[in-house]
Amino acid sequence: MFAMHENLATTREVNDAKGAASCTLSIAPMMECTDKHYRCLARLLTRHTQLYTEMVVDQSIIYNQAQVIGPAQSYEHPITVQLGGSDPEMLAKAAVVCERLGYDEINLNVGCPSPKVVNKKKPSACFGARLMTDPPHVAKIVARLQEVVSIPVTVKCRTWEKLRSMPAADPPTSCALQIGVDDLDQYEHLKNFVETVVEALGPTAHFIVHARKVHPIVRSVPQRLCVVHASTVICSSRFLAFY
């Protein structure tokens, strides 16, 4: 539910900076939970946290934005809208709408394990965690998003599980990830994914760590040890986020 960031920001920094990396605490995007009412409650509890919307599918925003997503409220900042989808152009159109509605950041969902999004009959229509099996395509998406919006673009995905034999490394950016897709749960898979996407995101890249694998879905026990190892592996990153 909550995501803790490594860097500690002052009250003024949190209020002035509109980006997830500026906050000490983030409230994770949760379907059928982090709606406008929940976010209002969260903001009543604290002004010093990054808020996220629920995941919103790109087509829903493009064709029915009035009912699917409203303008960001003044009390919600900083607030990130999380987008779901796989088509770079559709996501770009949705991102433009979100920026126009006043959201501070676009987060691409590459971590949702739901069969509804990862097991569609048409492979090209799959999104969420399924995108992690195609790093170049994710890089293409985020590159396109950055072309059409001026607000930050971040990625939520999954990370690896088998860490004991993992080599030391210093990825150049912070990570917003989850643990493994199918059999792609080795360190090298994660390393390849991050390095590929970082080339598109550039020096402001930000990823989010969720310590669970895609399978078994939803009710798997959080791999807390993985979070500890992840924090050491990505120690050179400027910002770390853990779910």
Domains of the chain: 2-242 (3.20.20.70)
CB 218 within 8 A of CB 30: no
Q: Of 23, 33, 40, 112, which residue is the catalytic one?
A: 112
CB 217 within 8 A of CB 114: yes
Would you call 112 a catalytic residue per the annotation? yes
Q: Which of 50-54, 92-96, 146-150, 158-162 has the lowest mean pLDDT?
A: 158-162
Residue 117: predicted pLDDT: 62
Considering only the C-alpha atoms of the chain, give the largest distance between any 2 of them, rounded to a whole number of Å. 50
pLDDT at 104 over 90: yes
> How do residues 108-166 score in pLDDT, each as one tens digit?
998 777 766 655 555 566 777 778 888 899 899 999 999 999 999 998 877 653 323 33
Greatest mean pLDDT among 16-20, 47-51, 92-96: 92-96
SS3 81: strand
